[in-house]
A and B are shown apart, each in its own frame.
Chain A
Amino acid sequence: MIFKWFNAEQGSAVERFAKRDRLNPLELLPWILAIAAYYVFPSYLPLGSQILLTILFAISLDLALGYAGIITLGHAAFFGVGAYSAGLYALHVTGEPLSGLVVAAIAAGILGLLSGLVILRTTGLTLIMLTLAVLLIVQEFANRARPITGGADGLNGIAMLPIFGVFRFDLFGHTAYWYCLSVLFVMWIFGLLLVRSPFGRSLTGVRENITRMHSIGAPVRRRLVTIYTISAAMAGVAGALLAQTSQFVGLATLGFERSGEIVIMLVLGGIGRIYGAIVGVVIFMIAQDSFARANPAFWSFWVGLLLVLIVLFARGGALGIADNLVALLRGRKK
Chain B
Amino acid sequence: MSALETQLLCKNFGALSVANKIDFRLEPGARHALIGPNGAGKTTFINLITGRLTPSSGIIKLAGEDVTALSQSGRVKRGLGRTFQINTLFRGLSVLENVFLTVCEREGIGNSILRRANARKDLLEESYALLESLHIGDDALNIVRELPYGKLRLVELAIALALKPKVLLLDEPAAGLPSSETAIVFDTVQQLPKDIAILIIEHDMDLVFRLANRITVLVQGTVLVEGTPDEIQHDARVREVYLGEGDHG
Question: Which positions in A face B, CB cutoff 8 Å?
Answer: 13-14, 16-21, 193-194, 196-202, 204-205, 207-209, 211-212, 214-220, 223
Q: Which of B44-75 contact A (CB under 8 A)?
A: 50, 52, 71-73
Contact of B141 among A13, A194, A207, A223 (CB under 8 A): A13
* B92-A208 in contact (CB<8A): yes
Q: Which residue of chain B lies nearest to A205 when distances are taken between CB atoms in the complex?
A: B101
* A198-B76 in contact (CB<8A): no
Contact of A13 among B101, B137, B159, B162 (CB under 8 A): B137
A contact face: mostly helix, strand, loop, or mixed: helix
* A216-B76 in contact (CB<8A): yes
* A18-B118 in contact (CB<8A): yes
- A143 to B109: give the CA distance in the assembly, Å: 44
- A223 to B104: give the CA distance in the assembly, Å: 14
* B118-A196 in contact (CB<8A): yes
* B118-A215 in contact (CB<8A): no
Known A193-B114, A198-B104: A214·B124 in contact at CB below 8 Å: no
* B118-A17 in contact (CB<8A): yes
Which residues of A have CB within 8 Å of B163?
A: 216-217
Known A194-B113, A198-B112, A217-B163: A17·B72 in contact at CB below 8 Å: no
In the A-B complex, list the 7 residue pairs whose CB atoms are closest, starting with the nearest: A217-B76, A208-B90, A13-B140, A214-B72, A198-B117, A217-B73, A18-B118
- A79 to B118: give the CA distance in the assembly, Å: 33
Q: Separation in Å of the A302 CB from the closest CB of chain B?
A: 31
* A14-B137 in contact (CB<8A): no
The digit string for B63-95, where 1 denotes a CB below 8 A from any CB of A, is 000000001110011000010100011111110
Does any Cβ of A come within 8 Å of B121's Cβ? Answer: yes
Which residues of A have CB within 8 Å of B141?
A: 13, 16-17
Q: How many A-B residue pairs have CB under 8 A?
A: 121
Does any Cβ of A come within 8 Å of B97's Cβ? Answer: yes
Does any Cβ of A come within 8 Å of B191's Cβ? Answer: no
- A332 to B96: give the CA distance in the assembly, Å: 26
Which residues of A have CB within 8 Å of B2?
A: none
Which residues of B have CB within 8 Å of A199?
A: 110-113
Q: Separation in Å of the A279 CB from the closest CB of chain B?
A: 20
Contact of A209 among B90, B104, B115, B117 (CB under 8 A): B90
30 contacts between A and B (CB under 8 A): A13-B137, A13-B141, A14-B124, A14-B140, A17-B140, A18-B118, A18-B121, A20-B118, A21-B118, A194-B113, A196-B116, A197-B114, A197-B116, A198-B109, A201-B100, A204-B92, A208-B89, A208-B93, A209-B89, A211-B88, A212-B88, A212-B159, A214-B52, A215-B82, A216-B101, A216-B102, A216-B105, A217-B73, A217-B163, A218-B73
